[in-house]
Structure 1
Amino acid sequence: MILLAGATGQLGSAVYNALKKEYGTNFKCLDINADKLEVYKNEGIPVFCNDLSDIEEIKKILQDVDSVISVVGLQRETETLSHMDVDYGRNKNLLQAALKTGVRHFAYVSALQTREDAPRKVHKAKWLMEEELKKNGMDYTIFRPSGFFTDFIHYFGKKCKDSNSFTLIGSGNMKIQPISIDDLAMCLVMSSKTPAAKNKIFVIGGPEVMTLNELIEYYAEFFSKRIKIRHIPMGLMRFFAALTFDKVISRDFLKRLETDSICDVTAVKEAFKINFTSLRDYIRNFDWSKI
């Protein structure tokens, strides 16, 4: 049986749907969102509301589980929770409990640019979790996604739909290669039974690379309108972030905008035999009445 941890977020919901398609109701879900878990419970799925802070409680949840999929991660830090607390600490607790209960495989969603000397806090925390997986002897599969279509639909797409101008921080030449969360979800579900995925780290992105400027230009073409692109100098935004103590926009986030988010997807495509959805196709097929 599989346990899905972090089951109610955007990616978690996509993995939930993929698991349900593959296994029916024969898997478990864990999250801190009790209301959304209740929906899953009503669909016949065993659910557990838990914050992964207590290893003994996690061990009880992991009874009869042989594979874990963790998409647990903090979207942004708060006054009480950091990336080190969640992306590393909570996932480490889950791994420690899994090691004590006979779980055979652990699939984990990390992030592109994750490395020991990464400048961003989230990447440092995820690197530590990757190291825990590599040294503990359990079979693992780690995915480092480059970003998700949903990020470029619900903010970029909506703003382009509703406005004739778009403001970008920096030059707009940062390259992106996002992936469909449904494609990543399918890889996560397949990972425990894919021999080529055993003890591997996969960078994963979509089939297209474009700059942020090119993305806005495509939206202008798609919506049949002119969209004026404005650029705010990165140096000015760094000064503003420091002046406001990262309250409005964080310096950690600005670092993300200074690094291309692209990768070579050859290995992951060969392992999982999946043709990834293109961002342009996703935009064309998206139901824009929903946003």
Structure 2
Amino acid sequence: MKKKKILLAGASGALGLEVLKLLSEQGLDVRALVHSADGAEKVAAYTKDVWKADASEGNEKIKDITKDVDIVVSTLGKSVSLFTNRGKSFMENDFYANSNVLDDAVKNGVERFIYVSIKGADKALEYEVAKSHKMFEDALSASGLDYTIIRPVGFFSGLNDLAIMAKRKVIPIVGDGHSRTNSIHQKDLAKVVVEHLYEGPEIKEVGGPLIHTRMEMAKMIERKVGGKVIQVPEKLAEWGMFLPELVDDDISAKLKYFKFVTTNDMIGEVNGEITFEDYLDGLDLENDLP
């Protein structure tokens, strides 16, 4: 039986790198798409087939990247962290970049496409973050390819913003903090992705092993990192988000989505073993948090 060749887009990101490690452990033939020289260096230990390109810049940049590829796995997308900015919009990084990879996949007869989206992509279309993911989900479902869309509720690493703020003495929580979530570690999410490499449902909403309220998670951060939990009334948060909109569209989009996810229950199917406390215990406060 011919060994499947896999294209992993976004291979150097927090999730992509964990997926790449698992694929490498299984001895699979992987082509990695990364955005930068730094990304190429990160993946070099796991594959020699590395493409360095910005997929959002058009089909010509990644022409035939899926040639001889059987399965595409895309963890490609823009970080929602307030402390990270690649300079392009969510629409460019999440929709256009993935659409260009998909176009190439259809042209080259790829068998299957696994896309990591976000929970809420189908219910929060007024937010650019969700809208850009949902637009690509729709493009993928209309492509004719076999596919699975994985919607995680959020990564533990995505909560690093609160830990960074805690290091600076404040942990802001919008609203009463009663909304619940079961965020997942990227290592556990990577296992879910790889488990669905060859088959799976069209949509799978994924969470971690334990459900906590946002306040409980903030208190865990407070105990580990320090700082003080500050509750921000929802109305105040709404008005406070108008100012950055005048200065920086990127920050505004992230703040609005942050308010949405932290004031609504975001719970997915239970997976994995690594708890949020385990994750916090493993943080190097000097080197992992700026």
Report TM bin, short chain: 0.7 to 0.9
Q: Matched residue of 1:245: which SS?
A: helix
CA RMSD of superposed structures (Å): 2.9
Partners of 1:47 and 1:109 lie apart in 2 by 20
Aligned to 2:140: 133
Aligned to 1:46: 49
| Conserved 8 A contact 2:173-2:232 | yes
Aligned to 1:272: none
Q: Matched residue of 1:60: which SS?
A: coil
Partners of 1:10 and 1:281 lie apart in 2 by 17
TM-score (norm 2): 0.82
1:280 aligns with 2:284: no
- Of 95, 100, 113, the residue aligned with 1:106 is 113
How many residues get paired? 276
Q: Matched residue of 1:171: which SS?
A: coil
Q: Matched residue of 2:151: which SS?
A: strand
Partners of 1:39 and 1:243 lie apart in 2 by 37
Partners of 2:61 and 2:229 lie apart in 1 by 51
TM-score (norm 1): 0.82
Aligned to 1:75: 79
Unaligned runs of 5+ in 1: 270-274
| Conserved 8 A contact 2:153-2:268 | no
Aligned to 1:178: 183
- Of 17, 23, 33, the residue aligned with 2:21 is 17
- Of 153, 156, 160, the residue aligned with 1:149 is 156
Unaligned runs of 5+ in 2: none
Q: 1:158 to 1:247 in 2, by over 3 A?
A: same
| Conserved 8 A contact 1:177-1:261 | no
Structure 1 residue 117 displacement after superposition: 5.8
Q: 1:216 to 1:84 in 2, by over 3 A?
A: closer
Structure 1 residue 127 displacement after superposition: 0.9
Larger-Rg structure: 1
Q: Matched residue of 2:77: which SS?
A: coil
| Conserved 8 A contact 1:209-1:262 | no
Partners of 2:31 and 2:10 lie apart in 1 by 11
Partner letter of residue 133 of structure 1?
Answer: L
